[in-house]
Chains A and B, each alone.
Chain A
């Protein structure tokens, strides 16, 4: 099993924060759709003022978790609280302090961009028209355009403007970058950084774009097949994940099997070497690596993407999707053909 990374031992179990500092907190949150488990006893806390990224492959339970937090779904077991109030009983007052942007970026299609803003403003006592204008401008939307005629990226811009204008204390964005072109993605990131001007603003978002996450997030949680695998600051995560290359003397043979390795996330084998990604490597891990029969063990720096893929990819000692033979063939071809990526 993959070891979990948490900020400190036991932090997942006990309430780690003063409740006033937890914008979102859930305990044992579980959701079944019929017989299918979508979320498995999720316990985590989102600190106030954080930019918190929820990561995981498709179908890992991210949207389910978000919808449970917002009270849009009933949990099968467990509970969650947002701004100190049970998600099932959020008052209109509290809802007005939460900005939620769903995956679909749904907007009222027959209204113009400006009408969408005017309409939405009526529901919010604190509506900042300047923010609405700024975001619309940033995404280069024509206020007179019909919402239904906008491209996906433009619709995301409108949806974001509608979400940001009430200046919500908590911003919950479900995969906001989905389907956006690079320019719109950058605008989205800029808007997120802008929101952090308010020191007590919290952003909770899900994403697949690891470089964007690396830019803006300071905390991450990783869901893997409905189970929480890591929940910590980005720095803690980076310092926990390390990569080693084991060089074997015989460069023309497949390396021997690895000894059991605590914290092994991923091992990529090629001729004469194994590249292993491990979580929480300690002296014992290093000793095990030293006894793996390799001629040399080299630690190599690991990027955020690689660290994350170690977590999100298939675990254990396998290639990512190639079987052993294909992989060795590939390795052989690489060796023969010289430098190919």
Chain B
């Protein structure tokens, strides 16, 4: 399925950031695979009716992060040797998720201890943490493991 990007001006997230996030999400969820082409800068700008420089900047960041690669004369592709998010991006994403989790839970009347407990239980239950050392760690300290 071709990549569809939809932007929403007026949001707290800049258009440039929205593009970066949506491409990341599509790549990491497997909606677009390795070596698949992306719309050209010009094409995406005209499709979304936004300044082409904004698309350029988003693509440049995705290249810097190793998610996309530019192939001379052929355009932009999902990189085969892609890296996971940069350290800053991982920290930002974690913080975003934790903020909404904590806010929601506090509003529901849970205490910090209960939230931490629940996060640990959930991590054990889902059993997703890499190399088995992660569960509970995220609740007390931000992820320190760099990606590069």
Contacting residue for A193 out of B11, B46, B57, CB 8 A: B46
- With both chains docked as a complex, state the minimum distance between the C-beta of A218 and any C-beta of chain B, in angstroms: 5
Q: Is A121 an interface residue (CB 8 A)?
A: no
- With both chains docked as a complex, state the minimum distance between the C-beta of A331 and any C-beta of chain B, in angstroms: 19
Q: How far is the CA of A215 from the CA of B50 in the complex (A)?
A: 5
Q: Is A328 an interface residue (CB 8 A)?
A: no
Q: Which residues of A contact B50 (CB under 8 A)?
A: 193, 215-216
Q: Is A305 an interface residue (CB 8 A)?
A: yes
Q: Is A214 an interface residue (CB 8 A)?
A: yes
- With both chains docked as a complex, state the minimum distance between the C-beta of A114 and any C-beta of chain B, in angstroms: 27
Q: How far is the CA of A223 from the CA of B10 in the complex (A)?
A: 21
Q: How far is the CA of A306 from the CA of B13 in the complex (A)?
A: 12
Q: Which of B1-46 contact A (CB under 8 A)?
A: 9-16, 42, 45-46
A304 touches B9 (CB 8 A): yes
Q: Is A271 an interface residue (CB 8 A)?
A: no
Interface string of A183-207 (1 = CB under 8 A from B): 0001001100110110000000000
Interface string of A235-265 (1 = CB under 8 A from B): 1001000000000000000000000000000
A196 touches B52 (CB 8 A): yes
B16 touches A214 (CB 8 A): no
- With both chains docked as a complex, state the minimum distance between the C-beta of A298 and any C-beta of chain B, in angstroms: 9
Q: How far is the CA of A190 from the CA of B52 in the complex (A)?
A: 12
Q: Which residues of A contact B70 (CB under 8 A)?
A: none
Q: How far is the CA of A51 from the CA of B51 in the complex (A)?
A: 8
Interface string of A64-78 (1 = CB under 8 A from B): 000000000000000
Q: Which residues of A contact B120 (CB under 8 A)?
A: none
Q: Is B88 an interface residue (CB 8 A)?
A: no
Q: Is A35 an interface residue (CB 8 A)?
A: no
Q: How far is the CA of A210 from the CA of B45 in the complex (A)?
A: 18
A193 touches B49 (CB 8 A): yes
B42 touches A215 (CB 8 A): no
Q: How far is the CA of A194 from the CA of B49 in the complex (A)?
A: 9
B54 touches A218 (CB 8 A): yes
Q: Is A90 an interface residue (CB 8 A)?
A: no
Q: How far is the CA of A51 from the CA of B45 in the complex (A)?
A: 14
B53 touches A303 (CB 8 A): no
Binding site for B on A (CB under 8 A): 51, 186, 189-190, 193-194, 196-197, 210-212, 214-218, 235, 238, 300-306
Binding site for A on B (CB under 8 A): 9-16, 42, 45-46, 48-54, 57
- Add 19 more A-B contacts to A215-B51, A303-B10, A306-B12 (CB < 8 A): A51-B51, A190-B49, A193-B51, A194-B46, A197-B42, A211-B10, A215-B49, A216-B49, A216-B51, A218-B51, A235-B16, A238-B14, A300-B12, A301-B12, A302-B12, A303-B11, A303-B12, A304-B10, A305-B10
Q: Could you pull out 23 A-B pairs where Cβ atoms are within 8 angstroms?
A: A190-B46, A193-B45, A193-B46, A193-B49, A193-B51, A193-B52, A196-B45, A196-B52, A212-B9, A214-B10, A214-B14, A215-B9, A215-B50, A218-B53, A218-B54, A235-B14, A235-B16, A235-B57, A238-B14, A302-B12, A303-B11, A304-B9, A305-B10
